[in-house]
Structure 1
Amino acid sequence: MGFVSFVGRVLFASVFLLSAYQEFSEFGTDGGPAAKSLKPKFNLFVKQVSAGIGMAVPHIDIKSVIAFTMFLKAFGGLLFIISSSFGALVLLVYLAFITPVVYDFYNYEMESQQFAKLFTMFSQNLALFGALLFFLGMKNSIPRRHSKRRAAKAKTT
């Protein structure tokens, strides 16, 4: 059972680790293709948040955002492989913040091809989010193993 769960964690975390590695190898001086595709969506998200809270959001460099997301994916994925709840939480935070920004299907008409593509990817990230929640729930519901030694009985005289 232990080996099978380890392989499952490695396969699950590989989604995040390979994505982080790809972004790292393409990063360059401008943040790479990830920065180019994220920048307009991130700017739109910042504009919507600013309008929603009624005050300006400080400027955040897109290269910093990409570097931080790479770190979250790699660090969380590696910790998840060793069955760390903290690793699962890091990946949950990453998915919670990046999914609605990157897969903004709600900004498109339902009949458009872009809507269908973004909604599919949004749904896949929700599935990953749910799997992480399931992992945390199962990890917390399994009681810790206790030592096989029994406590010495007190002698009664």
Structure 2
Amino acid sequence: MAFLSLLGRLLFVSVFALSAWQEYNQFGADGGSTAKALTPKYNVFSKHFATHTGFQIPAFEIKFLVAGAIALKAIGSLLFVFGSTTGALLLILHQVIATPILYDFYNYDIEEKEFLRLFIKFTQSLALLGALLFFVGMKNSTPRRSSTKKAAKTKTN
């Protein structure tokens, strides 16, 4: 059972680890192709966020956002493979931040082809988030083994 659990965590984390590795290899002085693709999506998201909440997201370089995403995915993946709740929480943080920015289906009309593509990816990302939340919930609800041993019974004659 422990082997199957490890195998499941390895397969699950492969999505995050391979993505982090690819982004790391493409990361240059400007953040690479990921930063170039993310910049317009981030700008639309920040305007959309400011319009609906009234709060302005501070301006910063997108390459730092990409570097943070790489770090969250890499460290979270490594810790998650070993069954760490902290690793799952790092991956949850990544999903919560990245999902609404990357998969902005809400900016498209339902009849557009892009809407369906982004909505499918958004729901897949939500499924990953749900699996991570399930892991954290199961990890926290599992009773811990007691390290105290029962006292030996004494013989009575």
For the criterion TM > 0.5, the same-fold answer is: yes
Q: What is the DSSP-based 3-state SS (H/G/I as helix, E as strand, rest coil) of the residue aligned with 1:129?
A: helix
Which residue does 1:110 correspond to in 2?
110
User: 1:58 is matched by which residue type in structure 2?
Assistant: P
- Structure 2, gaps ≥5 residues long: none
Q: What is the DSSP-based 3-state SS (H/G/I as helix, E as strand, rest coil) of the residue aligned with 2:151?
A: coil
User: 2:92 is matched by which residue type in structure 1?
Assistant: L
1:7-156 matches, within 5 Å, as 7-147=7-147, 149-152=149-152
Aligned length: 156
Using the aligned pairs only, state the percent identity.
53
Q: Deviations over 1:22-60 (max 9, x none)?
A: 000011122111111110010111122233343543211
Q: What is the DSSP-based 3-state SS (H/G/I as helix, E as strand, rest coil) of the residue aligned with 1:109?
A: coil
Alpha-carbon distance between aligned partners in 2 of 1:7 and 1:100, rounded to the nearest angstrom: 29
Q: What is the DSSP-based 3-state SS (H/G/I as helix, E as strand, rest coil) of the residue aligned with 1:143?
A: coil
User: 1:77 is matched by which residue type in structure 2?
Assistant: S
User: 1:130 is matched by which residue type in structure 2?
Assistant: G
Q: What is the DSSP-based 3-state SS (H/G/I as helix, E as strand, rest coil) of the residue aligned with 1:23?
A: helix
Q: Deviations over 1:99-119 (max 9, x none)?
A: 011100010011111001100
47 and 148 in structure 1: CA distance in 2 versus 1, 3 angstrom threshold: same
Alpha-carbon distance between aligned partners in 1 of 2:14 and 2:62, rounded to the nearest angstrom: 25
User: 1:137 is matched by which residue type in structure 2?
Assistant: G
User: 2:40 is matched by which residue type in structure 1?
Assistant: P
- Structure 1, gaps ≥5 residues long: none
1:147 deviates by 4.2
Alpha-carbon distance between aligned partners in 1 of 2:151 and 2:33, rounded to the nearest angstrom: 61
1:154 deviates by 8.2
Q: What is the DSSP-based 3-state SS (H/G/I as helix, E as strand, rest coil) of the residue aligned with 2:73?
A: helix
Moved over 6 A (4+): none
1:151 deviates by 2.7
